[in-house]
Amino acid sequence: MGDLRVIFVVDRGRVLVLVQRIAPRGQVYRDL
């Protein structure tokens, strides 16, 4: 499995959680 990074972004008082999955093949998946 690839690396899993969770990024917290504050936008206009709202907290957005960005989950970025990096697959072993180098592909990047981003979920809101």
Which tens digits make up the pLDDT trace of 1-32?
A: 567 777 777 878 887 777 766 666 655 555 54
Structure confidence at residue 6 (pLDDT): 78
Which range of residues forms the domain containing residue 17? 1-32
The count of structural domains within the chain is 1
Buried b (16+ CB within 10 A) or exposed e, 3-32: eeeeeeeeeeeeeeeeeeeeeeeeeeeeee
Structure confidence at residue 17 (pLDDT): 74
Structure confidence at residue 21 (pLDDT): 66
